[in-house]
Structures are given as C-alpha cells and as structure tokens.
Structure 1
Amino acid sequence: MKNKLLSGIVLFMMSVTAMAQQSFSTPGQATDALVSAIGTQNETAMSNLLGENWRDFLPPEGVDPDAVDRFLRDWKVRHDTVVDGETAHLVVGDSSWQLPIPAIKTASGWQFDIQQAAEEIQTREIGRNELAAIEALHAYVDAQQSYYAMNQKYAQKIVSSAGKKDGLYWPAEPGEAPSPLGPAFSPKEPGTGYHGYRFRILPDSNGFAMVAWPVSYGQTGVMSFMINQDDKVYQTNFGSDSEQKAQALTAYHLDKSWQPVAP
C-alpha cells in the first residue's frame, strides 16, 4: 500500500513538472527559445514555453504560415528584446513589429504569459480580418466587371449553380479559364465565412453591390462594409445585430451611418 502511495505521489510530481512552463534567467533567452521553437515547428517546445493550452489563444483558423515566414525573416534582419520593468516584448524587423506575447518576470525567472496577450491577439486578428474583407470587396468588383465582359450582364449570385456558370465562381475544369472569382468565397464548411466575414450581393439599380459583415461580432470583426460598382468601400458598426441588419438590407443605400473607408 505504501509503495502504491509513493508511486502515485511520484507520478503526480512528474505531471506537475511536465505542465510547468519553462523559465529563463534573462528575457532574451526566453525570446530566443521561442523563436527557435517557432522556426522548427516544435510543438513540445511551444507547449513548454507557452503552456499546454497555448493553441486556445490563437485564431480559429490558426496562424497564417506566410505570417510566420515573414516573422522569421524579420527576426533575421533585426531583433531586440525590449524590457519595461518586469515585462519584456520581442520586436523584429526594420518596422519594429512587436510580438503580442510578453515575457514576464516571476519568482522562478522569465516566462511567457500568453493570457496577457489574448486581447491583443484578438484585436490584431480583427484588424486583419477587416482588411481582408475590404480587399475581398474590391476583388468582387473586378469579378463582376469580368463577368459582364463575358455575359453582358452582372452576376446575381456568388457561387454558380451546380454544372452552370451563372455566378461569379464555378469549379474550373482542367485547361479551362478560371472563374472571375476564386474559391475563397465558397468555403468548404458552410457558414465559416472568409477570414471571419460573410458576403451577400445586393441589388443596385446602377449596376451591382455587396455587403460584408462579421461572422461573430466582436470576435472575428467589428465593422460591416458595403461596396458598389464605383469600387468605393463604406463601413458602419451594426453592433451585435450585424447579421440581422446586413441580411435585412434590400438594396445598396448609404445613410449617414455609413462612412467611407480611407483608400
């Protein structure tokens, strides 16, 4: 019985040790270790540095591989660990881009606190999603112009009916020219949207229009956007009713709540 109890205590201690985050004597050692883990895609090292639940703090679709490549390239160009009291941040590249995850000084040394980064990570993700939505609306205008050149009319739907080319996107056969709009507007999982946004074509007597709104207000985006054939994007904050208000629009119409987005 005694041996079983001791074995249980040992296993518990081993579990606690495995779950403890790695600490370093200097913040620079901590940031160097994190860059090494990112560069080698070492999941175990990432868990040791950030905690076993670190993925819970990332965007639902994960981190863009291109963004990781840019970060590693910028780190090689220039990097510095900026210390402010008991908090330190890694900055990289000529533009001094700051990693949102801080290293903090604890009793055991410097370690990362990804919980402190949660709000900043979400804020940055919302910003990226909103920029992607704006770019997608400009792509929609280009696609409608291409569709009109082929059909002498504007498309009334985003995704074509099965076996037809009555929308802006259709699966291209081998050797066939691609559709005016790419497959990003046709997500594999219905309802997931594109970079946190959903899109709908709006009637417009002068041509064509589209509205975009966040899949989850405050989580994947804040602003809703609208565009027509003039290729100018306008934005408004529909609040928590973004889905209902965007779906309720019956035509392209700008009231005083819609403001132009700076080009």
Structure 2
Amino acid sequence: MLREVTGIRYVTPLREGGSVPGVVEADDLGTYVVKFSGAAQGRKALVAEVIAGELGRRLGLRVPELVRFDFDPVIALGEPDEEIQDLLKASGGLNLGMDFLPGSLGFDPLVFTVDPVEASRVVWFDALIGNVDRSWRNPNMLVWHRDVWLIDHGASLIWHHNWPSAKAASAKPYDASDHALARFSPEPAAVAPQMAAQVTPELLAEVTALVPDEWLVDEPGFGSPDDVRAAYRELLAARAADIHTRITTGRSREQQPPPEWLRTWVEGKNAR
C-alpha cells in the first residue's frame, strides 16, 4: 500500500494543469501536489497516475513519491475561487499526493540535455503506458538537482476509458515523433529487451495492488476491483512484449534554439 498522509494546510492551486491540482502541506511535514478525486478527469486519472508512476519507478525512472492523501475540504475554506472551492468540496477523503520538488524547473528540450540512453528508456516507458501527454509542447517533466523527473501520468493508459475496445486500442502504434525527448535521438528498440524483461507478472501484480479498491469499484463489465487489476496486468504485459515494434520516432519539429539569455542562465545555474 502507498504511504498515507493527511492534509493540514491548503497552500495554493496549480492552475497550469487541466485537473487543477493543489499544493497541500501534510501531517508528515511534507508538501505535496495533490490530484483531487473530484476533478473532471475522474478517478481513472488517479488510477493511471498510480499504475504508471509506480511502474516507472520500478523500471528505474525518477518519479516523485506518490502517497494516499486524506483531504478535508475544511482546511481550504480560505480559497477565494468558487470553482476551486467546488472541486475541493467534491474531493473530501482519499486523493493522490505527489511529492513536491522545491526549486525544480520545468523541463525544456531546447535548454536541457538528456542522455540518449535515458531518452530511449523514457520513450519506451511512455509507449508502454500509452502516454499521450509528454510532447515538447507539454513535457510533464521537471529538472531537480540536475536530474530529470517524470510527472503527470493521468492521461496515460488511455484505453481504460473504454474497456470493451481496450485490446484493440492498446494494439495501435505509438507516435513518439513529437515526444519531448525526440531531439535526443532515442532508440527505444535498443533498450526494449532490458526494459521488457523487468515487466514481470510479479511486478505488475505489485503495482496494480497499489491502486485503492475505491477507485476500481463499480467498473462496468467487471465483478470486482481485482478483476480490473487483472485487465490492466494483461494489457501491460502484452504491450511490454512488443510495443517497441510499434513506436514511431523522429526528431521533434521544434528546432529553434533557446534564446541566448536563457542558455546563459541555465549554464550558470548548472555550474554552481
């Protein structure tokens, strides 16, 4: 089970994200970016965050710690935005928290560089989970202590929004031509044997077991939360075996170099 914390102070909403997550302090003295169960994307976005994030971590990629986050809307009564208040009121109880990385910078492929092997691993992983939300327009990566961290996987596992067609949808090719790391010459087929070998039945069982039952109950076509978990395991195991043969890669069309002032600032920061 994921570690559980309780919110004690609502700090601020993050309006950049479509689900409007919030920064919240918790009773373990940590600060978290909380994805709320009452958001328009619904509980399946939280399921995708858990499965994709915890799978990525076990594959050796950097993902901020995820926690079960108990949230009482009373702590956010001072939030003036009525739309945000409605979201928080609809999210009492269990939500999902992601460790807040203080001082991190949003990844910009025109500014930061990534080793081709790491880029290959990330592209293969994104293909595995069907992540449609890691383009150069919206990388969903952070740079923290000079390392790249992967965030925001709620838009992955997109086939789980329509289980009757899930097998057909998951068999489609994965287009990585606009991937945020496309300019770093990723070769996902080269890392596929090593990555796929790690996606064992035991690993998939461990990851899917981390999804709370309450986010899987009453799924149409399934008799229990464990039946839903089994469906996730079956699709991910099948994709791990051959997804590298269905990845379209290519250098991103975004070719403009960063402005000189930004390049100089980043070089100075990295030299500290």
> How would you bin the TM-score normalised by the shorter chain?
under 0.3
TM-score, normalised to structure 2, is: 0.20
Q: Which structure has the bigger radius of gyration? A: 1
TM-score, normalised to structure 1, is: 0.21
